[in-house]
Amino acid sequence: MAGDDLLGGSDPEHEADVERARIAHALIADLRGLPPAEVPEALCRSCLALLPEVSGLSVSVLGDGSTGVVLCASDDVAARLAEIQFTLGEGPCREAARLHAPVFATNLPRAADRRRWPLFSIQAAKAGVEAVFSLPLASAGSALGTLDLYRATPGSLSEDRLRTAMLVADAVTLAVIALEQASPDPEGVVTWLAGAESDREEVHQATGMIMMQLGVSAEEALLRLRARAFAQGRTAMEVARAIVDRSMDLRDD
């Protein structure tokens, strides 16, 4: 009788735990010791190396209400896909965060996916994207954020590829938590992420300026900034810089 049979055979759950831990350790090793400003790019680079079958990916961290931050993106297409979902309030990543479950759009040009996310599907098609896979970064019963993958061609992920993607999402969550616990700053759940967003300070500054100018809440100010970016086909960062240097004024809307 084979040794595995004597031991009761392989344990898929145990194997998944071992692989999840291996991936998490690899991510943490890639990020440990880096200056905060370099963490997002390194995180995306590490994830993409683990998922070479996708065209690109992004990692978003959720805030209060409908707000969120695109922590990192492998390319401009991935960044825009994430930003427009926060702006439009629809799309696979929004649904994955709400349901705390994976949400896949395997053929965005197909009528079923267009009906599900009519505005997002149009924008994804313009970006040359035909399939999106959103996986929640789940922690303590809530969604910390999402790992969002895209491909330029339609179709489902194979069973093995899907398993790897889900383990990567779990590992990203573990890496975020581990790095946060190692941070000397005790404030906030993802303080190290805030530090990693040094180049996003302009978004926060621009949001504050919009709040003062229009007399709106922080959430509405951020949504207005993203709406302007969406309407002009620009990133939220680009619009924020224009607001901060006063070459753009949303009071003109």
Task: Say how many domains are in the chain.
Answer: 2
Contacts of 233 (CB under 8 A, 6+ apart): none
One domain, residues 164 and 206: no
Q: What is the largest CA-CA distance in the chain?
A: 79
Do both 54 and 95 map to the same domain? yes
- Number of helices (H), then strands (E), in the chain: 12, 5
Whether residue 183 is found in the same domain as residue 209: no
Domain for residue 78, yes or no? yes
Per-residue pLDDT of 72-131, as tens digits, reads 899 989 988 988 888 788 899 989 988 989 999 999 999 888 899 998 999 899 899 999
CATH number where 244 lies? 1.10.10
Task: Compute the radius of gyration of the chain from its Cα atoms.
Answer: 19
Give yes or no: residues 48 and 123 share one domain.
Answer: yes
Q: Tell me the C-alpha distance between 143 and 98, whole Å.
A: 8
Q: Does some domain include residue 195?
A: no
Judge contact between 78 and 57, C-beta under 8 A: yes
pLDDT of residue 179: 60
| Judgement on whether residues 182 and 219 belong to the same structural domain of the protein | no
Q: Provide the pLDDT confidence category of residue 3 given band limits of 50, 70 and 90.
A: very low
pTM across the whole model: 0.75
Q: In what order do the strands lie in the sheet with 56-62?
A: 68-73, 56-62, 142-151, 131-139, 103-105
DSSP string, 165-214: HHHHHHHHHHHHHHHHHH-S--SSSSHHHHHHTGGGHHHHHHHHHHHHHH
For the stretch 135-189, pLDDT in tens is 999 876 677 889 999 999 999 998 888 988 998 998 888 776 766 565 555 444 3
Which pLDDT score, from 0 to 100, does residue 190 have?
A: 44
Rounded CA-CA distance 195/200 in Å is 10
What is the domain extent for residue 86? 7-188
Say which residue, 17 or 242, is predicted with more confidence: 242
98 within some domain? yes
Residues 245 and 146 in one domain: no
Mean pLDDT for the chain overall = 81
Spatial separation of the C-alpha atoms in residues 127 and 122, rounded to whole Å: 9
Across-strand partners of 72?
59
